[in-house]
Amino acid sequence: MRKGYLRDLERAGVPVVPTAWVSQADGAGSLATLVRAHGWNDVVVKPAVSANANRTWRAGGKITEQDEREFEPWSRPAG
């Protein structure tokens, strides 16, 4: 299921879980940097389109090397 509907809800003033939208075009950098920039402690990382929680995980507290490896496909620009 595509998660873009959450943006639409937020724009309409509906409270949603704080979200950072990341794309390969942005080159997001490290997950740890993204988490610090937003002041978050626990995060759920998921693709914009997925089903059955495929490629979704929770990172709590310190971001680990495994978290960074899993985040890497989103962290560098495509191409």
Amino acid at 60: G
Per-residue pLDDT tens over the stretch 3-29: 788 889 999 999 998 988 887 766 668
- Is residue 48 predicted with pLDDT exceeding 70? yes
From CA 21, how far away is CA 75, in angstroms rounded? 12
- Cα 13 to Cα 7, 16, 58, 63, distances in angstroms: 10, 9, 26, 31
Domain boundaries, given as residue ranges, for the chain: 5-75
The pLDDT of 24-45, averaged and rounded, is 85
Per-residue pLDDT tens over the stretch 50-79: 777 778 899 987 899 999 999 988 776 665
